[in-house]
Amino acid sequence: MNNSKLPIFQSNDINISNEVNMVWSIANTLRGAYRADKYRDVIIPLFVIARLEAALLPTKQSVVEAYAKNQNTPKQVLESISGYKYYNASKFTLKNLLDEPDNIKTNFESYLEGYSNRVQDILKSLNLAPKSI
């Protein structure tokens, strides 16, 4: 069965402990970029984002390349490439965000802005849309 066609929360091929460790690592990096009272508000949204990203990783580079060739590529084409009804056209992943800790806020905003409109709605509901952080 093709895993790219399974609903996002039913795939069992993701190592959750690796995701949890990565999210905590990112959260620790973000600690300096966020006020202490906002830090815990970031953890749950990061788990959601990590899960969304995990589903996209196998096709991420293809989406980024298609978008880089033509930023007017129709969303349906990018969704088809991603295998889901959403995509992320940003060159960043949660993992490579850690490569530039001095630019984490700017790069994280760019990463979030790379998500398609369906995810932007989720980010807004989590108060994690780029304009709100």
Residue type, 1: M
Q: Exposure of 126 by Cβ count < 10 A (0-12 exposed, 13-18 middle, 19+ buried)?
A: middle
For residue 6, the model assigns a pLDDT of: 45
For residue 32, the model assigns a pLDDT of: 62
Report d(CA 103, CA 58) in Å as an integer.
26
Q: What are the tens digits of pLDDT across the range 76-123?
A: 999 999 999 999 999 999 999 989 989 988 999 999 999 999 999 988
Question: Which one has a higher pLDDT value, 101 or 39?
Answer: 101
Q: Would you say residue 9 has pLDDT above 60?
A: no
For residue 36, the model assigns a pLDDT of: 63
Residues 6+ apart with CB under 8 A from 27: 39, 42, 43, 46
